[in-house]
Amino acid sequence: MARINLEQLSTFLAVVRLGGVRRAATSLNLTQPAVTARIKNLEDNLDCELFDRTQSGMKLTKRGELLLGHAEKYEHLTQLVERDLVDPAGVEGRLRLGASETIAQCWLPDLVTRLHQLFPKLEIELVVDISANLRAGLMDRELDLAILLGPLSEFSVNNVELPDFELAWYAAADTSSEAIAASYLSRPVLTYPRNTRPYRELKEKLFEQAGPNFSLFPSSSLSACFRLVEADLGVAVLPRALGREYVLAGRIREFDPGWVPAPLRFTICYMGEPKSQLIETAAHMAREVAVDYHGDKNNL
């Protein structure tokens, strides 16, 4: 009788869904030879070939297609067992979590704390990057969960909406709001890095207001933007949630030039397959943390 184990079936499903050994290895945190060995052992145990291997890729054989249906049923049963019976305190493994800097500066530490409390043996790998890179990492299965400017219009991706981040204009604390509002476009405007949606939308808005007569200074560090504003080296359009502590400390001030870009809309994104109780729990926990964070800020 053929002897099959969970590792072999999960590896088989990963190769099928991701279209090859390389992506499956990345998703499973294995080497490519290890993935190849598991598939070979599975074929030896079943005494049949599961894939036709050609220069264009790997295609399921008829027996491979039969196994796929059984493997998906087995995977679903395993997920039910994990959901209903496994103690979260005993869950081991790795969660590859990607987030935009706005999230990292706000409530990401609270999320990591809660995840560690629920899954004390879980290894959490953090990546902070722009949304475009996070999207690529998620689609390439290099990330399990991505918190980015979304949603992602991909059929394979689940999106969980988050509360919006309002943007505001900031200037040095010792400058009057009236003076800044009258001449703010003569100053460098500090904001999000290039190749991001906030940068592009702000650039379009500034062009509507002043034509080409403005200086837009992108930065990969939002905290650096606030320090430059504090030093009176420019004005900035940044999230109010991040600027509030600087304003309360008297280091910078808000001003109103009569317009502000639309709020930033972030989304928690993760792949729909294979289903993972751990990833779904982390996604819903992230939303709870985000809602609590925005509620606390709005009550200040």
The 10s digit of each residue's pLDDT in 60-73 is: 999 999 998 888 88
pLDDT at residue 75, as a whole number: 81
CATH of domain 6-85: 1.10.10.10
Tokens for 179, please give them: 């003076």
pLDDT at residue 180, as a whole number: 82
Domains 89-164+265-298 and 167-255 share a fold: yes
Beta bridge partners of 148: 267
Tell whether the torsion through CA atoms of 16, 17, 23 and 29 is positive or negative. Answer: negative
pLDDT at residue 210, as a whole number: 79
> Is the peptide bond prior to 257 cis by the omega test (within 30 degrees of 0)?
no
Identify the segments of the chain with pLDDT beneath 50. 1
Cα(190)–Cα(236) distance, integer angstroms: 4
Query: Quick check: helix, strand or coil at residue 90?
Result: helix
Query: Quick check: helix, strand or coil at residue 10?
Result: helix
CA proximity to 184, closest of 221, 210, 205, 212: 210
Backbone torsions φ then ψ of 138, nearest 5 degrees:
-70, -45
pLDDT at residue 1, as a whole number: 46
Cα(274)–Cα(75) distance, integer angstroms: 9
CA proximity to 190, closest of 221, 149, 165: 221
Cα(137)–Cα(139) distance, integer angstroms: 6
Backbone torsions φ then ψ of 103, nearest 5 degrees:
-70, -40
Domain boundaries, the chain: 6-85, 89-164+265-298, 167-255
pLDDT at residue 117, as a whole number: 92
DSSP 261: P
CA proximity to 98, closest of 278, 286, 242: 286
CA proximity to 290, closest of 192, 167, 147, 159: 147
Quickly list H helices, the chain.
6-18, 21-28, 32-46, 62-85, 101-105, 108-118, 131-139, 177-183, 197-210, 222-230, 240-248, 277-298
Strand-by-strand arrangement of the 167-172 sheet = 215-218, 188-191, 235-239, 167-172, 252-255
CATH of domain 167-255: 3.40.190.10
**Best CATH choice for the domain 89-164+265-298 from the list 3.40.50.620, 3.30.1490.20, 2.130.10.10, 3.40.190.10:** 3.40.190.10
